[in-house]
Structure 1
Amino acid sequence: MATITKRLTADGKPYYTAQVRLKGYPAQTATFNRLTDAKKWAQDTESAIREGRHFKTAEAKKHTVDEMIDRYLSGAKLTKVQDDHTGLHLRRWKEEIGYMLLADVNADAITLVKEKLLNEEFRGKPRSPTTVLRYMASLSTVFTTAVRDWAWLEDSPMKNIKKPTAARGRVRFLNDDERERLLIACKESRNKQLYLCVILAISTGMRQAELFGLQWSDVNLKERYLILHETKNGERRRVPLSGLVLELLQEHAKVRRLDTPLLFPGIKNPLNPIDLQQPWETARKRAGIVDFTWHDLRHCTASYLAMNGASLAEIAEVLGHKTLSMVKRYAHLSDGHVSNVVASMNQKIFGGV
């Protein structure tokens, strides 16, 4: 016999708890956001019990999604950069389905959140399918850990969920004229740090959080490199320094503040990183640069490397990617380099022109 009870979340959203009781079998309970799904589950579950099929583990009935995510985060020890991404994603999942027992989490509950994320706006723009994929990937990692390492679940409910199609990787970089206009506008900015930070971003391909989090202890001007201790993939990365950016950093070191370890401290609070959002937007508009974000400076680095003959493996190493998949978007920019490699191989093997 099945019973379905309507309940409300803390913010007033309805959900439905279905319970199936059959004599001689332990009661089975599941929670759904839609009544129709609760009724279907109850019917299917009654049939499954009569057929003697196996059910969720006892552990899955003891722990909530909140508890699962909290345990994962306590052991993961995310860096600040990772927390800005993975931590952000998981906190959102806690808000949406944290109250649910693991035994109750199904494809329907996750799909509803997925669709909600896809239909939301973030900073005035629709959230991209690629971003939603990252939200799902973060949660999938936690479920996999709960299955493999803790035995809280027999299987991950993420396996059979249709994932949104990721958009093609964006490749927006500055041409020579745009780059010259932008750098002039940055140099003329009232903020004296903007020009150096933009040069540093283009020269190294560092992410914004990596750059603004730099401390003087991370920089070795004598040996011409800096070390990124907190990166998105959790691995340290050595970044070489040369040319203009090295000269600018050497000048910057002569006027460094002694009340903060940061290379680029905030104006009001030197213990916090500098905020260049407004100076950046002002310089970008004065330079007449459209459809271009700070993150696109990283695309500039990769694109310029590709156009100057760097291999995808070398670009991935500079940007700090573990695999080549993220840098394949720049492959077309190095077609000339690839053609030369192929021509050289043919020349050595077959001779001739």
Structure 2
Amino acid sequence: MAYIQERISKTGKKSYRALIRMRGYSSVSATFPRKTDAVLWAKETETAMHQGKYFKSSESRKRTVADLVDRYLDRVRKDSEERHENLKFMLLWWKQEIGHCILSNLTKAIISEKIDLLAATTWKLKNGTIKNISPARVNRYIAAFSHACTIAVNEWEWLESNPFQKISKLREPRGRTRFLDDDERARLLTECKKSKAQYLYPVVILALSTGSRQSEILGLKWKDIDFARKCIILHKTKNKEKRVVPLSGHAYDLIKELSRVRRIDTDLVFPSPSDPKQHWDVRASWDFAVKKAAIPDFRFHDLRHSAASYLAMNGATLAEISEVLGHKTLAMVSSDVPIQVKHTMYAE
């Protein structure tokens, strides 16, 4: 039930305090200079309470986007420091752009305007080339903030609904299907062997023979390698599911050789020379080797496509390739197998 109380200050100025007491809620009140404002607030608040929406609406009026981002990042950090680092830059961009916005005022129009701004972003590379942000990258920004809003709706009751529900992601171009031919593979491995970087050659061999991602390989610890069973147990994977991949042939020999000269101050298979607690950074050595091998338009992740194509050409089914690569669906593994190889598989 609502009560309107008239108050007079020492200076003689009038104000009106609206007080609401309702079963199941703590008493709430607000003060206004005009009685009509106090009555209107009381009616709206009582209606929200009867509909079971008062808590959410009141929180959304008190909280800002900055509050949401800060709390969400704290939550993510407690679960995974690595995921926190991946999301931090993207969510802080949203905070910088609309951190001041009250959650109750966060609309599709405001978000869409910022998505358009983000999609028009460019930056200058070291060689002077101007590069546009990719649709895929923009979609990661959208997904990061959207998930934070979902948590705010379902768990914190800071929002009535997720404003991203009616916002479409940008259309992305078809995924890359680049893989090494025999000559390119020979040239690349030759340059990796010649590299001054101790770990480059075994890391590339592992990528080609197991199809593992760069982060999975560089994050390997010696306890993850089972020499007796000739396999690697990947604990930190993209889909957060443990995966076992075979370790055999030349890859097994290289890792076995590394184990004989392993560092005793770290459990990492590929530790950084400057900080054994961190894994080695492959980028500079990789880029130099690819350049020396004269292989155009080839990224480290394309080694995964190459591994998938080699498995397919050796008679592995899509289901078997999916198990090795750690894909949850056959549609996902299909994107890693080049169309030329698929034709060969189906022809057989």
The two structures share one fold, judged by TM-score above 0.5: yes
The separation in 2 between residues aligned to 1:149 and 1:324, in whole angstroms, is 33
Match of 2:303 in 1: 297
| Residues 1:299 and 1:105: Cα distance change in structure 2 (over 3 Å) | same
Match of 1:110 in 2: 111
| Residues 1:209 and 1:99: Cα distance change in structure 2 (over 3 Å) | farther
* Matched-pair contact (CA < 8 Å) for 2:178–2:338: no
Map of 1:214-233 to 2, 5 A cutoff?
A: 214-233=220-239
| Residues 1:223 and 1:167: Cα distance change in structure 2 (over 3 Å) | same
The amino acid across from 1:106 in the alignment is T
Map of 1:152-301 to 2, 5 A cutoff?
A: 152-301=158-307
Match of 1:31 in 2: none
* Matched-pair contact (CA < 8 Å) for 1:204–1:301: yes
The separation in 2 between residues aligned to 1:253 and 1:134, in whole angstroms, is 38
Q: Name the SS for the 1:239 alignment partner.
A: strand
* Matched-pair contact (CA < 8 Å) for 1:61–1:103: yes
Query: Whose Rg is larger?
Result: 2
Q: Name the SS for the 1:147 alignment partner.
A: helix
1:290 Cα shift?
Answer: 1.1
| Residues 1:331 and 1:284: Cα distance change in structure 2 (over 3 Å) | closer
Q: Name the SS for the 1:153 alignment partner.
A: coil
The amino acid across from 1:58 in the alignment is S
The amino acid across from 2:68 in the alignment is M
The amino acid across from 2:98 in the alignment is I
Q: Name the SS for the 1:57 alignment partner.
A: helix
Deviation digits for residues 45-90 of structure 1 (CA, Å, limit 9, x no counterpart): xxxxxxxxx9972221122223323333444444354334344433
| Residues 1:199 and 1:263: Cα distance change in structure 2 (over 3 Å) | same
Matched, 1:134 2:144: no
RMSD between aligned residues: 2.6
Map of 1:334-345 to 2, 5 A cutoff?
A: 334-340=342-348
Seq. identity, % = 45
Normalised by the length of structure 1, the TM-score is 0.75
* Matched-pair contact (CA < 8 Å) for 1:201–1:297: yes
The amino acid across from 2:83 in the alignment is Q
Match of 1:6 in 2: none
| Residues 1:290 and 1:270: Cα distance change in structure 2 (over 3 Å) | same
The separation in 2 between residues aligned to 1:178 and 1:241, in whole angstroms, is 23
| Residues 1:176 and 1:273: Cα distance change in structure 2 (over 3 Å) | same
The amino acid across from 1:142 in the alignment is A
The separation in 1 between residues aligned to 2:151 and 2:302, in whole angstroms, is 34
Which sections of structure 2, spanning at least 5 residues, go unmatched? 1-33, 43-52, 126-130
The amino acid across from 1:296 in the alignment is D
Match of 1:25 in 2: 40
* Matched-pair contact (CA < 8 Å) for 2:73–2:84: no
* Matched-pair contact (CA < 8 Å) for 2:243–2:326: yes
Match of 1:89 in 2: 90
Normalised by the length of structure 2, the TM-score is 0.76
Match of 2:70 in 1: 70
The amino acid across from 2:299 in the alignment is T
* Matched-pair contact (CA < 8 Å) for 1:316–1:323: yes
The amino acid across from 1:170 in the alignment is R
The separation in 1 between residues aligned to 2:156 and 2:292, in whole angstroms, is 55
The separation in 2 between residues aligned to 1:216 and 1:184, in whole angstroms, is 27
The separation in 1 between residues aligned to 2:85 and 2:316, in whole angstroms, is 30
* Matched-pair contact (CA < 8 Å) for 2:318–2:330: yes
1:115 Cα shift?
Answer: 2.0
Equivalent of 2:327 in 305, 318, 321 = 321
The separation in 2 between residues aligned to 1:187 and 1:135, in whole angstroms, is 38
1:148 Cα shift?
Answer: 2.4
* Matched-pair contact (CA < 8 Å) for 1:225–1:240: yes
The separation in 2 between residues aligned to 1:283 and 1:311, in whole angstroms, is 32
Which sections of structure 1, spanning at least 5 residues, go unmatched? 1-20, 28-53, 341-353
* Matched-pair contact (CA < 8 Å) for 2:305–2:338: no
The amino acid across from 1:82 in the alignment is R
| Residues 1:81 and 1:299: Cα distance change in structure 2 (over 3 Å) | farther
Deviation digits for residues 229-267 of structure 1 (CA, Å, limit 9, x no counterpart): 222222222222111101110111111111111111112
Q: Name the SS for the 1:58 alignment partner.
A: helix
The separation in 2 between residues aligned to 1:211 and 1:163, in whole angstroms, is 31
* Matched-pair contact (CA < 8 Å) for 2:208–2:306: yes
113-122 vs 214-223, greater mean Cα deviation: 113-122
